[in-house]
Amino acid sequence: MADLLDRVLFIRSTVPSTFPQLDLAAGHVDAYWQDECDLVGVAAGVLLVTEAGGVVTDLRGRPWQPGRSDILAAAPGVHPELLLLLQERDVH
């Protein structure tokens, strides 16, 4: 997260993971990501985000599917750049 702090305005952590996805689907936040996610926590949120026009992938950029270990859900204009930032984080 330290690598992202100079590029984003706000980072928060909350559980269960469905709540921040609801905020994303409603347009209150720009993105949500989680490492080691669980199906129960994210599946409903994924449906809501995609129905609201958001983009949902794993951290490799593949469309998210049940069983994937991580998730990035974001507004279409934010998703590509945030995906690159998160991938750079894994390289360092």
pLDDT in tens, 44-92: 899 999 999 999 999 999 999 988 889 999 999 999 999 998 898 765 4
| pLDDT (0 to 100) of residue 55 | 97
| pLDDT (0 to 100) of residue 91 | 54
Prediction pTM value: 0.82
pLDDT, tens digit (0-9, with 9 covering 90-100), for 29-39: 899 988 888 77
**Of 34, 29, 38, 30, which Cα lies nearest the Cα of 1?**
34
Answer whether 25's CB lies under 8 Å from 1's CB.
no
Q: CB count, 10 Å around CB of 25?
A: 21
